[in-house]
């Protein structure tokens, strides 16, 4: 990281419900990393997908964070207020010829993939078969906008380095295909919103759950098309339930009781690879946790030593 660039990290919850033991790990890990680097820590409410958001969950998440002593250094931002910025980014990509309108329904995509005898599941997501690449089929009432990912013989292959997982590689063309930036119903896709916001907020370090690692190559491709810098990445271990599934609200994770902060912070610390801390006050707990986090990276316990260059 260049000396001139101040560390800026963020926690970016989707307000589909209150904070739970799983999302707390991302909140705490991103906070610890920012504090250990002497940087800023921001909170961004990722409510672009309005129908999936739970009313009041944003306020509850912010209340829980405050109760746990995780206070952002700047006022939180809401993605639902930022549609104009996403529109500007899309307009730029349109002017560059990087995106195209697509009128395919899910059924159209399934039929096209079946006709091409291509497997059509990958984490239950479909690799878009390219139907509308060279022009819309029919006259759909509404269109989505897709980002071109590669041309025949020239796939988009993204290499990136995760601070914990090590070197990563994804052939975006083969594994993802042209992905949606704006849905036909007008909703902005997570990929576009996160890239525009990380750049505008000057985020230098993305620290989030490992379940999101698979999005990183897409986001890097988009950053390159938009001329935006790529932050460093750290994907944290996930909390799993008894069936080995990622803990999430959909799988019935209970909301956190924040009345005794160390009781919920210590299990999160253990998921992050650190020993629980017994401290008389929350500020003391925090100071020790930040030191333990910094020490963990310095002695190479967390990183791939040969690659970590903080
Ligand atoms: N909003 C995303 C989530 O809650 C996280 C996005 C990110 O950290 O990049 O899963």
**Phi, psi angle pair for 171, to nearest 5°:** -85, 95
Atom of ligand 1 nearest to the CA of 215: 9
pLDDT at 308: 46
- Give the pLDDT means over successive 10-residue stretches in the chain (310 positions): 80 96 96 98 96 95 98 98 98 98 91 79 74 89 96 96 96 95 96 98 98 97 98 94 72 81 96 96 98 93 58
User: Smallest Cα–Cα separation from 173: which of 135, 125, 221, 123?
Assistant: 221
pLDDT at 304: 60
pLDDT at 123: 56
Exposure b/e, 74-106, CB count within 10 A at least 16 = b? eebbebbebeebbeebbeebeeeebbbbbbbee
- pTM, two decimals, is 0.93
Q: If you measure from the C-alpha of residue 281 to the centroid of ligand 1, how many angstroms do you get, rounded to a whole number? A: 30
* Ligand 1 and 33: CB distance under 6 A: no
* Ligand 1 and 198: CB distance under 6 A: no
pLDDT at 215: 97
Q: If you measure from the C-alpha of residue 124 to the centroid of ligand 1, how many angstroms do you get, rounded to a whole number? A: 19
* Ligand 1 and 46: CB distance under 6 A: yes
Packing angle of the helix pair 216-225, 190-200 (nearest 10 deg): 60
* Ligand 1 and 79: CB distance under 6 A: no
CB atoms within 10 A of CB 224: 13
């Amino acid at each position: 990281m260049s000396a001139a660039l101040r560390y800026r990290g963020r926690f970016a919850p989707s307000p589909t419900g209150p904070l739970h033991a799983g999302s707390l790990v991302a909140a705490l890990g991103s906070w610890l990393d920012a504090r250990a680097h002497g940087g800023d820590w921001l909170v961004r409410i990722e409510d672009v997908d309005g129908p999936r958001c739970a009313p009041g969950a944003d306020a509850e998440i912010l209340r829980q964070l405050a109760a746990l002593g995780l206070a952002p250094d700047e006022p939180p931002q809401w993605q639902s207020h930022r549609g104009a910025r996403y529109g500007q980014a899309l307009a730029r990509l349109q002017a560059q010829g990087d995106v195209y309108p697509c009128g395919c329904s899910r059924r159209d995509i399934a039929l096209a993939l079946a006709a091409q005898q291509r497997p059509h599941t990958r984490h239950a997501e479909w690799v878009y078969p390219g139907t509308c690449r060279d022009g819309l089929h029919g006259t759909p009432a509404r269109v989505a906008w897709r980002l071109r990912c590669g041309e025949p013989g020239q796939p988009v292959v993204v290499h990136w380095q995760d601070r914990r997982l090590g070197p990563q590689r994804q052939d975006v063309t083969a594994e993802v295909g042209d992905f949606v930036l704006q849905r036909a119903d007008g909703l902005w896709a997570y990929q576009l919103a996160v890239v525009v916001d990380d750049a505008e907020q000057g985020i230098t370090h993305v620290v989030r759950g490992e379940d999101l690692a698979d999005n990183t190559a897409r986001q890097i491709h988009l950053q390159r098309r938009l001329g935006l810098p790529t932050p460093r990445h750290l994907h944290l271990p996930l909390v799993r339930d008894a069936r080995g599934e990622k803990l999430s609200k959909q799988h019935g994770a209970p909301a956190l009781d924040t009345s005794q902060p160390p009781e919920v912070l210590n299990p999160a610390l253990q998921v992050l690879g650190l020993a629980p801390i017994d401290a008389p006050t929350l500020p003391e707990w925090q100071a020790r946790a930040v030191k333990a986090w910094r020490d963990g990276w310095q002695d190479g316990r967390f990183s791939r030593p040969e690659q970590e260059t903080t």
